[in-house]
């Protein structure tokens, strides 16, 4: 899916409680709309790609599913902008 008329995409960097990375990744992989879930090194611990039909659906996945997870500390969302 590209970020145009066919849907919306966002990349979300997630910082989790130390030692919970594997469990958080396992739970994230169960969420519909997350097409990629990866462990990363650096300031953030996990990178996810969210794909949905609308920006509102992307927002709902991030705010109601990802950010409310028990061991998620912070998130940084980057919405993909359609280009021509």
Tokens read off for 44:
């953030």
d(C-alpha 15, C-alpha 13), whole Å: 7
For residue 67, what is the DSSP state?
Answer: T
Q: Per-residue pLDDT tens for 29-61?
A: 999 999 999 999 999 999 999 999 999 999 999
pLDDT at 4 over 90: no
Tokens read off for 84:
């021509």
Does pTM top 0.85 for this prediction?
yes
* pLDDT, the chain, mean: 93
**H helix runs in 1-84, sequence order:** 21-28, 55-60
Q: Are 5 and 49 in contact (CB under 8 A)?
A: no
Q: What was the pLDDT predicted at 77?
A: 98
- 83 pLDDT band (50/70/90 cuts)? confident
């Amino acid at each position: 899916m590209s970020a145009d008329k066919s849907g919306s995409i966002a990349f979300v960097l997630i910082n989790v409680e130390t030692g919970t990375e594997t469990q958080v990744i396992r739970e994230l992989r169960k969420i519909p709309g997350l097409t990629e879930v990866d462990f990363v090194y650096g300031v953030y611990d996990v990178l996810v790609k969210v794909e949905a039909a609308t920006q509102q659906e992307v927002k709902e996945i991030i705010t109601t599913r990802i950010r409310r997870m028990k061991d998620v500390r912070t998130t940084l969302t980057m919405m993909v902008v359609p280009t021509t």
